[in-house]
């Protein structure tokens, strides 16, 4: 297949580091020249910033312009969103200045589900390693610029992996969770197409929670970071708990902060954009 390219104006809401390091994705790697290369769907894409231009190049089955506009959420007006959030308070203002280039990627739902099940009680280097090994073993190989890349396996492809196979790839106790979830999605006990159609937020969330390995935090990450695109989802992890307590709740013992209280404040302050607010706060606090 042939290499395609696509270019856009960078603007003020597109920064490679912010997009790829804000914790939403696991398959993008920095190159020597500062660009990033990643695999999504059956595409291998390299993204670089040159002055005020963003250059996408790589191998796509479809038109690269279409593929990138969709994946990088390029039709959404993040300037407007940031303006709206900035007006809430100074914390939002500061965090948005810090992570001004964040965009929420449109990641495949199935891949996002498995990726965040793997993320439970785990660290990022290891998570990335596991996902890479899964892709190498069960995905399809694509050669680009002389290097081999591997697509994330489809449901059918991953369903060929037994619990022991997964264990050998380093999943640890998450092996059974991934195995069971794969089966439930394969036999449509949980239908991913239907999930996309469903309007009611809590219905979608409750359905995700049926899947083994998907608890409240993972469910909210899936809702926020996948093509489900639910910006009202508010994943609460140790970092978010920390920052929400520090800024709004001010409990002396951070571990005693009630999740309900965090959710209540998040919803009252940020409303339908709570998930995005979370992302700016999380990225700011974790980086700063």
* Residue with Cβ nearer DNA (24 or 135): 24
Q: Which of 62, 238, 264, 267 touches DNA (CB under 7 A)? A: 238
Q: Say which DSSP state 31 is in.
A: -
* Binding of residue 24 to DNA (CB under 7 A): yes
Nearest approach, Cβ of residue 211 and DNA (Å): 7
Torsion of CA 82, 83, 86, 88, to 10 degrees: -110
Residue 127 CB, nearest approach to DNA (Å): 7
Task: Pick out residues in 258-287 that bind DNA (CB under 7 A).
Answer: 282, 286
Contact indicator for 3, 58 with CB cutoff of 8 Å: yes
Residue 127 engages DNA in binding (rule: CB under 7 A): yes
Which two three-digit tokens encode residue 102? 């964040």
Alpha helices in the chain (DSSP H): 16-21, 64-71, 78-86, 90-98, 109-118, 124-138, 155-158, 163-168, 174-186, 192-197, 201-210, 216-225, 238-244, 259-270, 274-287
Shortest Å, Cβ 219 to DNA: 6
Stretch that binds DNA, among 19-27, 88-96, 250-258, 268-276 (CB under 7 A): 19-27
Q: Which stretch binds DNA (CB under 7 A): 40-48, 95-103, 191-199, 208-216?
A: 208-216
Tell the smallest beta-carbon distance from residue 236 to DNA (Å). Answer: 8
Rg of the chain, C-alpha, whole Å: 19
Select from 142, 212, 249, 271 the one that contacts DNA (CB under 7 A).
Answer: 212
Pair of tokens at residue 263: 């959710």
Q: State the minimum distance, in angstroms, from the CB of residue 53 to DNA.
A: 27
> Interface with DNA includes 55 (CB under 7 A)?
no
Does 177 sit near DNA (CB under 7 A)?
yes
Q: What share of the chain is helix, strand, coil (3-state, %, to 5)?
A: 50, 15, 35
Residue 165 phi, psi dihedral angles, 5° rounding? -60, -45
In 3D, which of 239, 249, 175 has the Cα closest to residue 213?
175
Residues that contact DNA, how many (by CB under 7 A): 35
Q: Which residues contact 97 (CB under 8 A, 6 or more apart)?
A: none
Q: Which is nearer to DNA, 75 or 123 (CB)?
A: 123
Q: Which residues bind DNA (CB under 7 A)?
A: 22-24, 119-127, 129, 167, 170, 172-174, 177, 211-219, 235, 237-240, 282, 286
């Amino acid at each position: 297949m042939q290499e395609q390219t696509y270019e856009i104006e960078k603007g003020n809401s597109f920064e490679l580091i912010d997009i790829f390091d804000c914790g939403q994705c696991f398959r993008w790697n920095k190159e020597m020249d500062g660009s990033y290369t990643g695999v999504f769907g059956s595409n291998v894409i390299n993204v670089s910033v040159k002055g005020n231009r963003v250059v996408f190049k790589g191998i796509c089955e479809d038109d690269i312009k279409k593929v990138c506009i969709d994946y990088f959420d390029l039709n959404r007006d993040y300037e407007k969103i940031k303006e709206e959030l900035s007006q809430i308070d100074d914390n939002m203002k500061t965090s948005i200045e810090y992570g001004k280039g964040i965009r929420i990627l449109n990641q495949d739902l199935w891949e996002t589900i498995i990726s965040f099940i793997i993320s439970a009680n785990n660290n990022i280097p290891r998570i990335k390693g596991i996902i890479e090994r899964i892709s190498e073993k069960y995905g399809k190989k694509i050669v680009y610029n002389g290097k081999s890349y591997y697509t994330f396996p489809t449901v059918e492809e991953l369903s060929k992996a037994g619990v022991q196979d997964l264990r050998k790839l380093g999943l640890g106790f998450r092996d059974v969770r991934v195995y069971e979830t794969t089966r439930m999605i394969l036999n449509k006990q949980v239908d991913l197409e239907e999930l996309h159609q469903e309007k009611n937020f809590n219905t979608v969330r409750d359905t995700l929670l049926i899947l083994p390995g998907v608890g409240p935090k993972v469910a909210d990450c899936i809702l926020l970071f996948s093509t489900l695109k639910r910006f009202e989802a508010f994943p609460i992890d140790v970092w978010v708990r920390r920052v929400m307590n520090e800024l709004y709740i001010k409990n002396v013992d951070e571990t005693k902060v009630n999740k309900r209280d965090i959710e209540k404040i998040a919803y009252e302050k940020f409303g339908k954009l709570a998930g995005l607010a979370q992302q700016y706060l999380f990225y700011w606090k974790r980086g700063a």
